[in-house]
Amino acid sequence: MRSCEKLKKQGRERKSGMRQTLLSRLSGPAHTHFHHQQGALRVHSRKGCGRREAVQRPRVLTRGQHQGHSGNSSDLQTPAIAWLRPALRAIDKQILPVALVSFIVLGVIRPKEGLIAHELGLSNLITIAIFIISGLQLKRGDALAAAKATGCVAFGLVSILLLTPMLAYLLLKLPLPDHSLPIALGAAVFCCMPTTLSSGISMTAAAGGNTALAILLTLASNILGVFTMPFVLPTLLGSAVGGSSCGGLQPGSLLAQLTKVVLLPTLLGAAARAYIPGVAAAVDENRRVVVYLSAICLACVPWMQVSRSVCQGLAITAADLGLAVCLGSACHIVFLAFNALCVRVLSLGGQDRLEAARLRQALVLQASQKTLPVAVTIISSMTPSNAACAAAQAGGVLAVPGAAGLAAIAAVTCHLTQIIIDSFLVPIWTKDLQSLKAQQAAS
């Protein structure tokens, strides 16, 4: 009897242990499923003591193992897919920088295809497509909503089109070796550009700034820039490219070029959005497709320029890339500091602290960023078109083999550095605006 009681007690302890083990597995972080098979849990009894003994425990399988056993083998790759999803999301958010870097690397590794595309005259066509797409995304109503902030608008346009370009003159005076001069030229051209077409607006919205002011400054500076750049660029860069009469820097020819490939395509896209029924809704509903298409078109322009320069003997070194990063970072930091100081000194934004902060944030960001498509268009037009221009440029920066390609890489690098720097500033601006909102709510 004592042995039977002892065996019964041991059986109860085993059952209790099994129950606790199963409960702990079910309450764990991983979801589990039971896989039941005939005979998976068998219970036997012995005569004389009535003991019930568990011969085999139930099999506990993970979700992937359970589905794999049932015949769905595609889910066995779930960990790999889960690992790729964060990378794909990051690429989707930063499609423009990823496309620019990828196409430049492609131009260095396989320049033949880019050279063929350039010789077919695709550069101008793709540039026109870029600005048509930009025009399709412009929202005129949002821009007009910020027109009442006259002080912010006036200072923003003066800073973008006249004040910040002056840094280009200093860049070309840096004591650099001859083979690095195209890097300085590319950064100088970038400094003379209007504000960005899309990244500044999206960052302003992310930080909680005044998006309407950002859109208005984007529209006005890119349109007015067509008429100011033909005079600003020759004044600041003429001597660096062997004079303003060649290399695409003659004011009349530059104005005609910018009107043809920048202004008219932008107005065409904006008119299609405003007056053709269904276009605005289609663009807004397929925003990600439009963004991808714009990024690919924009990346194709430096790809063709770099491919052409590599075929001409361009050698890109780590020192050149480091110099481009340093110049781009320094220029953008100077722009941010200068514009932030000016809006404080001039007390722009009005009396309302929260609204003033939103206006200043949008103004500083838009006045400090520069657009890349116009920059690569200008750099492409600087290449000499005939022997006379080539002779005139013999003492200029463009006399360096592959100089236009190196200048294009510098402009792309400047664009990437400004996006990286501002991406760190957006959370800080967001926190400041939230703090001001909390203070106003408390008062």
Give every CB contact of residue 92 below 8 A, 6+ residues apart in sequence. 288
Element of type H or E holding 33: strand 32-34
**DSSP label of 61:** E
Query: Domains in the chain, start-ordered, CATH in brackets?
Result: 91-223+238-433 (1.20.1530.20)
Q: Out of 15-19, 157-161, 436-440, give the one with best mean pLDDT.
A: 157-161
pLDDT for res 74: 45
Task: Give the span between the Cα atoms of 132 and 112, in whole angstroms.
Answer: 28
Percentage of the chain modeled with pLDDT above 90? 17
Q: Which of 215, 214, 202, 221 is nearest to 358 (CA)?
A: 214
158: its two tokens: 């003066």
Give every CB contact of residue 400 below 8 A, 6+ residues apart in sequence. 178, 179, 181, 182, 406
Question: How far from each other are the two terminal CA atoms of the chain, in whole angstroms?
Answer: 82
Over the stretch 293-324, which tens digit does the pLDDT of each residue have? 888 887 887 888 788 878 877 777 888 889 99
Q: Which of 127, 157, 120 is nearest to 302 (CA)?
A: 127
Task: Give the span between the Cα atoms of 270 and 176, in whole angstroms.
Answer: 43
CA distances from 423 to 68, 90, 426 (A): 43, 13, 5
Over the stretch 120-177, which tens digit does the pLDDT of each residue have? 888 778 888 888 887 887 766 656 666 778 889 999 999 999 999 999 999 988 998 8
Task: Give the span between the Cα atoms of 121 and 334, in whole angstroms.
Answer: 37
Instruction: Place 414 in a pLDDT band, splitting at 50, 70 and 90.
Output: very high
pLDDT for res 255: 82
Q: Find tokens 């998976």 and name the residue.
A: 40
Task: Give the span between the Cα atoms of 264 and 252, in whole angstroms.
Answer: 16
Over the stretch 58-102, which tens digit does the pLDDT of each residue have? 454 444 444 444 444 444 456 656 677 777 777 777 777 788 888
Give every CB contact of residue 295 below 8 A, 6+ residues apart in sequence. 95, 96, 99, 100
Dmax of the chain from CA atoms? 118
Give every CB contact of residue 266 below 8 A, 6+ residues apart in sequence. 131, 132, 134, 135, 138, 222, 223
Q: Which of 135, 164, 129, 152 is nearest to 293 (CA)?
A: 129
> Is there a contact between 161 and 232 (Cβ–Cβ < 8 Å)?
yes
329: three-class secondary structure by DSSP:
helix
Rounding to the nearest 10 degrees, give the CA dihedral for residues 63, 64, 69, 70. Answer: 70
Please provide the DSSP assignment of 255-315 as one string. Answer: HHHHIIIIIHHHHHHHHHHHHSTTHHHHHHHTHHHHHHHHHHHHHHHHHHHHHHHHHTT--
351: three-class secondary structure by DSSP:
coil
pLDDT for res 365: 93
**DSSP label of 44:** E
Average pLDDT over residues 31-50: 43
Task: Give the span between the Cα atoms of 217 and 227, in whole angstroms.
Answer: 16
Q: 46 vs 170, which has greater pLDDT?
A: 170
Q: How many CB atoms are located within 10 Å of the residue 110 CB?
A: 12
pLDDT for res 52: 45
Instruction: Place 262 in a pLDDT band, splitting at 50, 70 and 90.
Output: confident
> Is there a contact between 58 and 41 (Cβ–Cβ < 8 Å)?
yes
Burial of 150 (0-12, 13-18, 19+ CB in 10 A): exposed
Q: Out of 123-137, 153-167, 189-203, 420-434, give the one with best mean pLDDT.
A: 153-167
Burial of 146 (0-12, 13-18, 19+ CB in 10 A): buried
Q: Find tokens 């003429």 and name the residue.
A: 238
177: three-class secondary structure by DSSP:
coil
